[in-house]
Amino acid sequence: MSPPILVAEHLSKWYGDVIGLNDVSVEVPKGITGLLGPNGAGKSTFLKLCTGLIRPSRGRIGVLGHNPWNNPYLMQRVGLAPEHDTFYDRMTGLEFVRLMGRLSGMDPAQAEKAARSALDEVGLSEAIHRRVGAYSKGMKQRAKIAQSLVHDPELLFFDEPLTGTDPVGRREMIDFIRRLGKQGKSVLVSTHVLHEVEAMTQNILLIAKGRILAEGNIHQIRELIDEHPHNVRIEVDRPRELAQQILGLPNVVNVHIPSENIIEVQTRKPDEFYPRVTELMLRGKFHVTSMSSPDDNLAAVFKYLVG
């Protein structure tokens, strides 16, 4: 078996009286791993510790066999797409990603070639000369992924990369992350949405209140989740027409239209529901503004595990 890409031993981080991470010991294998937890669970703190952006308050962490803090050598081998945007808005997409390549040690010609390749990989080849400040939220997410790829790292950390993307863009990004795994790269990707993790990988870390509650195969977690109906909220231009079609899908418990352009759906099989409803949207050419799931059902599982 390959050695783990990441090892944490009694890892803790606190900010004054606030605990961000609490006595975490875990080994992360090679491949794609989902870091799953509700907002405020400690996911971003964990990823910042992994990439050397902050130092542990206690314990130790090893990434690819090295301490990430103040380690330029390791930074050549890892890439980070942070949760929050950190752009120079007046730069074009190409200028921004090229700058990241130069900062990683590439010469100008190498950085130019690598930046164009990375932007093409994430589907931004037609927008490379547009200013980043004019990008949509989904395009900015793709630009963050591109800058994390530009120096061809072997290990990538993605913090909530699907936030702000539409259903089609979300599916494209999930497919892209899966391709990275097939190319031999390792990815630790955080999210608070279970079905997003399921579409990428079977290996997860379940985190809440700064502690790892479970790790391993996602099917064990799915058995807990399926005890609770899964709520989905869809904002769409023709809600009644889409709602009628959703009623015909299997394992749909309830469909409700609480207000204009909003559909609320309950399903017992979200892993089957999401691809089917996406196909309905594409086939019917619906204009979908957002599709999201509240944390209620996931929070119930975390409460069960904590108890």
* pLDDT over 70 at 79, yes or no: yes
Tell me which of 175, 191, 223 is where a domain ends. Answer: 223
Rounded mean pLDDT, 95-113? 95
Tell me whether residue 45 is in a domain: yes
Tell me which of 175, 202, 223 is where a domain ends. Answer: 223
pLDDT band at 302 (very low <50, low <70, confident <90, very high): low
Tell me which of 174, 195, 223 is where a domain ends. Answer: 223
Rounded mean pLDDT, 206-218? 86
Task: Please identify which residue in the block is written with the tokens 């892993």.
Answer: 271
Shared domain check, 240 and 198: no
In angstroms, the CA 301 to CA 279 distance is: 29
* pLDDT over 90 at 39, yes or no: no
pTM for the predicted model, two decimal places: 0.78
Shared domain check, 156 and 85: yes
Tell me whether residue 165 is in a domain: yes
What is the residue range of 291's domain?
Answer: 229-306
Q: What is the pLDDT of residue 304?
A: 59
* pLDDT over 60 at 296, yes or no: no
In angstroms, the CA 161 to CA 145 distance is: 8
212 against 228, higher pLDDT: 212
* pLDDT over 80 at 229, yes or no: no
Coil, strand, or helix at residue 231?
Answer: strand
Shared domain check, 42 and 69: yes
Tell me whether residue 247 is in a domain: yes
CATH of the domain at 278: 3.30.70.100
Segment (H or E) for 306: helix 296-306
CATH of the domain at 65: 3.40.50.300
Mean confidence (pLDDT) of the chain: 90
Q: Is 300 within 8 Å of 230 (Cβ atoms)?
A: no
In angstroms, the CA 25 to CA 7 distance is: 8
Provide the number of structural domains found in the chain: 2
252 against 193, higher pLDDT: 252
* pLDDT over 70 at 21, yes or no: yes
Percentage of the residues of the chain whose pLDDT score is greater than 90: 68
